[in-house]
Amino acid sequence: MCASVKYNIRGPALIPRMKTKHRIYYITLFSIVLLGLIATGMFQFWPHSIESSSDWNVEKRSVRDVPVVRLPADSPSPERGDLSCRMHTCFDVYRCGFNPKNKIKVYIYSLKKYVDDAGVPVSNTISREYNELLTAISDSDYYTDDITRACLFVPSIDVLNQNTLRIKETAQALAQLSRWDRGTNHLLFNMLPGGPPDYNTALDVPRDRALLAGGGFSTWTYRQGYDVSIPVYSPLSAEVDLPEKGPGPRRYFLLSSQMAIHPEYREDLEALQARHGESVLVLDKCTNLSEGVLWVRKRCCEHQVYDYPQVLQEATFCVVLRGARLGQAVLSDVLRAGCVPVVIADSYILPFSEVLDWKRASVVVPEEKISDVYGILQSIPQRQIEEMQRQARWFWEAYFQSIKAIALATLQIINDRIYPYAALSYEEWNDPPTVKWSSVSNPLFLPLIPPQSQGFTAIVLTYDRVESLFRVITEVSKVPSLSKLLVVWNNQNKNPPEDSLWPKIRVPLKVVRTAENKLSNRFFPYDEIETEAVLAIDDDIIMLTSDELQFGYEVWREFPDRLVGYPGRLHLWDHEMNKWKYESEWTNEVSMVLTGAAFYHKYFNYLYTYKMPGDIKNWVDAHMNCEDIAMNFLVANVTGKAVIKVTPRKKFKCPECTAIDGLSLDQTHMVERSECINKFASVFGTMPLKVVEHRADPVLYKDDFPEKLKSFPNIGSL
């Protein structure tokens, strides 16, 4: 509308002469424009307030007061549901679009009460759980109140339990939703599908293209990659307080707690109990409970009464057997108790199986093998059982414990499909937080020995020791695999020497001037570094021979994800002071190498510059010390691997005390370095450094063999 208005306005202004007979025309035109403007204004201000006052933001309005919608008996009903639907065929991605946050927008229809022609309600208006579910979505980041911007629509028609609704009329109610459009991009939540006697494994309500988050899918009704398999929520999750019980062996090896088990299977289970005695416990409904006792909270075996779900915590494995439906609420209780579920339900699609690795938390046994189940479980190593118990409990905490958890996991799965490149990783879905915290994920995980051809880039950090710097440059340039030399000139008050004064070497030499005299400048991922391998070397390390450096590079090639360096250092636990201590004496162990002379991957420069945790970077720059210790922490933390010290000990001129000269300050220096270790360990929240007792030497080092036949003869001279 706006565009046409503008065109019309501009039109007359551009025509210099107007004829009188056009006057009426223009006046009409302007009235139209004005009317349009007023209408625009109305549109701007009115509808929002209408919508919000009638449907939204009104707190404390009773469910009984929601608007009633009468469905004529002949109102249209959706198609039955298309089993071949997949995201690329039935889902409209254009509604979701590309957005920088990679997050879908979910709209919830307002709550209505549907009645048929006779005024009889179609279903319960809304259940406690579905209300919770919609509240969770509306409180989440996914929610939008703008129907035009929504990618996914959630009807407020409650279909969680098929038994509480009238199928045909519910379908008609769905069909009259304002954006229904054959159910495209609509998501229905259902936990109890089917009804007697067949118990279909998916919701029977015709729903055309709508996605179904269902609680009891079998492999034949589940549209892989389209539907979402969700758990059947157990109301006990909220009602009962069950303190966590750690993993480990428990009183019963195998427990069955379900009440609605088909007699055939109960027979099999009881046979197991008879065969294996006390380690198997098969519980059933209690028959003679006194009045007032909640029978759902009790289970019995013969005349013994057990508390449910507490009894689940007494068992290592718990049977989750199919009933009339495949999905069972007991799965949730079992997981919560840290009992490993033994799922015996052929063709059942486990909850969230698209993203959860159930093999780590459960044992799936074919129904046919129900009587072999004991033997199967006994073959599982104890450590694996404990791992599974931990994992089971974690699944419950993350994805089962509340309706909110179930709703958000469902939306996240759909979100992952629409933005697959921003999807949560396997680890994010499956690893418990404790594991996430302690485990490492090496960014250079591929076992790769890079060929020699690329060589390495030497980076010399220098301030003003030009003479010594030139000697280092000359020495390093003799190393065959050197491909480039980068001098980081850290002195802002002084210009580097003129080009003509620099030593002439066979590889390119570049000087980078820095803006500030910071130690972290040595670890900046300069564009000039074109090789993977970086040799960090101080401007006073002139004692390393060409053989030693070349050998260091060869060792780095075999360990490209580690720090490979010359002077080694150690951290120790000081039992008297109760803190970490830095050690540079002649020790039998190494946990750090100094970056005054060390090879490492350029990736770690990037990591140091952009991903250093906490305030470590600033601390280093402020103290003008410990950048090497910080680098050792960083690499060890991310790779979980130890450093490699190469070649025998040399007399380095106290390489780490470049800033301080003289032996008297040595003591202060050590104290400061110890402080660094303690500081870094507290920032990292752990001590990532690994202690080893080995160093790398050439294969023929000190062997009784002609020196000239050795690849690296000149090693270890002092």
Partner 1 sequence: MQAKKRYFILLSAGSCLALLFYFGGLQFRASRSHSRREEHSGRNGLHHPSPDHFWPRFPDALRPFVPWDQLENEDSSVHISPRQKRDANSSIYKGKKCRMESCFDFTLCKKNGFKVYVYPQQKGEKIAESYQNILAAIEGSRFYTSDPSQACLFVLSLDTLDRDQLSPQYVHNLRSKVQSLHLWNNGRNHLIFNLYSGTWPDYTEDVGFDIGQAMLAKASISTENFRPNFDVSIPLFSKDHPRTGGERGFLKFNTIPPLRKYMLVFKGKRYLTGIGSDTRNALYHVHNGEDVVLLTTCKHGKDWQKHKDSRCDRDNTEYEKYDYREMLHNATFCLVPRGRRLGSFRFLEALQAACIPVMLSNGWELPFSEVISWNQAAVIGDERLLLQIPSTIRSIHQDKILALRQQTQFLWEAYFSSVEKIVLTTLEIIQDRIFKHISRNSLIWNKHPGGLFVLPQYSSYLGDFPYYYANLGNPPPKFTAVIHAVTPLVSQSQPVLKLLVAAARSQYCAQIIVLWNCDKPLPAKHRWPATAVPVIVIEGESKVMSSRFLPYDNIVTDAVLSLDEDTVLSTTEVDFAFTVWQSFPERIVGYPARSHFWDNSKERWGYTSKWTNDYSMVLTGAAIYHKYYHYLYTHYLPASLKNMVDQLANCEDILMNFLVSAVTKLPPIKVTQKKQYKETMMGQTSRASRWADPDHFAQRQSCMNTFASWFGYMPLIHSQMRLDPVLFKDQVSILRKKYRDIERL
Pick out residues in 602-641 that bind partner 1 (CB under 8 A).
602-603, 605-606, 640-641
**Which of 446/515 has CB closer to partner 1?**
446
Taking CB under 8 A as the criterion, which residues in 456-495 touch partner 1?
none
- Closer of 501 and 699 to partner 1 (Cβ): 699
514-543: contacts with partner 1 (CB under 8 A): 525, 529-530, 532
Helix ranges (H only) for 439-586 are 466-476, 546-558
Nearer to partner 1, 78 or 215 (CB): 215
Question: How many Å apart are CA 128 and CA 517, to the nearest integer?
Answer: 63
User: In this chain, which stretch among 90-98, 204-212, 475-483, 492-500 interacts with partner 1, using CB under 8 A?
Assistant: 90-98
Phi, psi of 33 (to 5 degrees): -60, -45
Angstrom distance (rounded) from CA 409 to CA 251: 34
User: DSSP per residue over 601-628, as a string?
Assistant: EHHHHHHHHHH--TTHHHHHHHHT--HH
If phi > 0 it is left, if psi is from -120 to 50 it is alpha, else beta; for residue 301 that is beta
Residue 649, Cα to own-chain centre: how many angstroms? 44
The Cα–Cα gap between 397 and 658 comes to 52
Residue 249 binding partner 1, by CB under 8 A:
no
Q: Virtual CA dihedral for 657, 659, 663, 669, nearest 10 degrees? A: -60
How far apart (Å, rounded) are the C-alpha atoms in residues 170 and 164? Answer: 11
Place of tokens 């519910």: 170
Query: Which range, of 201-209, 361-369, 538-546, 612-620, touches partner 1 by CB under 8 A?
Result: 361-369
Per-residue contact string for residues 221-240; x = within reach of partner 1 by CB under 8 A: ---xx------xx-x-----
Q: Considering the rule CB under 8 A, would residue 421 count as an interface residue with partner 1? A: yes
For partner 1, the binding residue among 49, 84, 178, 493 (CB under 8 A) is 84
Task: Map the footprint of partner 1 across residues 113-172, applying CB under 8 A.
Answer: 124, 126-131, 134-135, 137-141, 143, 145, 158, 160-161, 163-164
Could you tell me how many residues of this chain bind partner 1 (CB under 8 A)? Answer: 177
Shortest distance, position 504 Cβ to partner 1, whole Å: 29
Shortest separation between residue 500's beta carbon and partner 1, angstroms: 33
Does residue number 590 form part of the binding site for partner 1 (CB under 8 A)? Answer: yes
504 is a site residue for partner 1 (CB under 8 A): no
Q: Which of 61, 70, 275, 513: binder of partner 1 (CB under 8 A)?
A: 61
DSSP string, 40-81: HHHHHHHHHHHHHHHTSS--S--GGGSPEEE--TT-----S-
In the DSSP assignment, the letter for residue 324 is: S
For residue 541, give Cα distances in angstroms to 387, 464, 638, 640: 50, 15, 28, 29
Q: Does 354 bind partner 1 (CB under 8 A)?
A: no
Q: Which listed residue (324, 577, 622, 624) binds partner 1 by CB under 8 A? A: 324
Q: How far apart are CA 626 and CA 672, in angstroms?
A: 9
Query: In angstroms, what is the minimal distance from the CB of 367 to partner 1?
Result: 6
By CB under 8 A, the residues from 669 to 708 that bind partner 1 are: 690, 692-703, 705
The single-letter DSSP state of residue 498 is: P
Q: What whole-number distance in Å separates Cα of residue 460 and Cα of residue 244?
A: 55
Helix (H) or strand (E) holding 572: strand 568-574
Instruction: Give min distance, CB of 72 to partner 1, in A.
Output: 28
Task: Count the residues in the chain.
Answer: 718
The least distance separating partner 1 from the CB of residue 115, rounded to whole angstroms, comes to: 18
CB of 324 to partner 1, least distance (A): 4
Please return the burial class of 356, using the count of CB atoms within 10 Å of its CB with bins 0-12, 13-18 and 19+: buried
Between 26 and 117, CB nearer to partner 1: 26
Specify the residue, 137 or 677, whose C-beta has the smaller distance to partner 1: 137
194: left (phi over 0), alpha (psi -120 to 50) or beta: left
Residue with Cβ nearer partner 1 (379 or 493): 379
Residue closer to partner 1 (CB basis): 115 or 423: 423
397 lies in the site for partner 1, by CB under 8 A = no
For residue 23, the minimal CB distance to partner 1 (Å) is: 7
CA distance 610 to 613: 9
- CB-based contact 344:372 (threshold 8 Å): no
In the complex, least distance from residue 357 CB atom to partner 1, rounded to whole angstroms? 5
Regarding 296 and contact with partner 1 (CB under 8 A), the answer is yes
What mask of x and - would describe binding to partner 1 in positions 35 to 54, judged by CB under 8 A? --x--xx--x----------
Q: Rule CB under 8 A: is residue 380 a binding residue for partner 1?
A: yes
Tokens matching residue 613:
């945790």
Identify the three-state secondary structure at position 193.
coil
Considering only residues 429 to 458 of the shown chain, the ones binding partner 1 according to CB under 8 A are 430, 435, 439-440, 442-451, 454
Q: Which is nearer to partner 1, 420 or 662 (CB)?
A: 420
| Binding-site member from 381, 500, 661, 667 for partner 1 (CB under 8 A) | 381
Regarding 587 and contact with partner 1 (CB under 8 A), the answer is: yes
Q: How far apart are CA 463 and CA 538, in angstroms?
A: 10
* Comparison of 12 and 508: residue with beta carbon closer to partner 1: 12
Of 326-345, binders to partner 1 (CB under 8 A) are: 329-330
Residues 6+ apart with CB under 8 A from 137: 106, 108, 143, 154, 407, 408, 411
